[in-house]
Amino acid sequence: MDERVELVPGTLDMLVMKAVSAEALHGFGIARWIERVTGDRLTVEEGALYPALHRLEKRAWLSSEWRRTPRGRRARYYRLTPEGSHELDTLRTRWEGSAWAVRQVLEAEGEA
């Protein structure tokens, strides 16, 4: 199944935080990381990504600094803060619980 899927509402922050949990990335790098990890099934649009980055930085879950990209362009690189790491763990636990519950319903035999 190679078809693109829509991002589940409320998951973008979690995906962005996971993307920068191992290393600092700039916005385009974050979007590409998500696309690569999902086999290009999820696409993160700039119009959603940059407001999310600003929101996460305002909440102190991400920090940022200006750096040069490998191609020499200036870009803002984002990294997960300790507070963000804690929040990512919380969001992941909630997501896994929700995904489990939905899977149980979808795999249930019989009719309601």
Separation of alpha carbons 59 and 85, rounded Å: 12
Which domains are delineated in the chain?
12-107 (1.10.10.10)
Rg over alpha carbons for the chain, rounded to the nearest Å, is: 16
Which tokens belong to 68? 């040069």
Q: What is the pTM of this model?
A: 0.89
- Per-residue pLDDT tens for 22-50? 999 999 999 999 999 999 999 999 999 99
- The closest of 74, 45, 50 to 62, measured between CA atoms, is 50
Query: Tens digit of pLDDT for each residue in 52-91?
Result: 999 999 999 999 999 999 899 999 999 999 999 999 999 9
Assigned token pair, 10: 């409320």
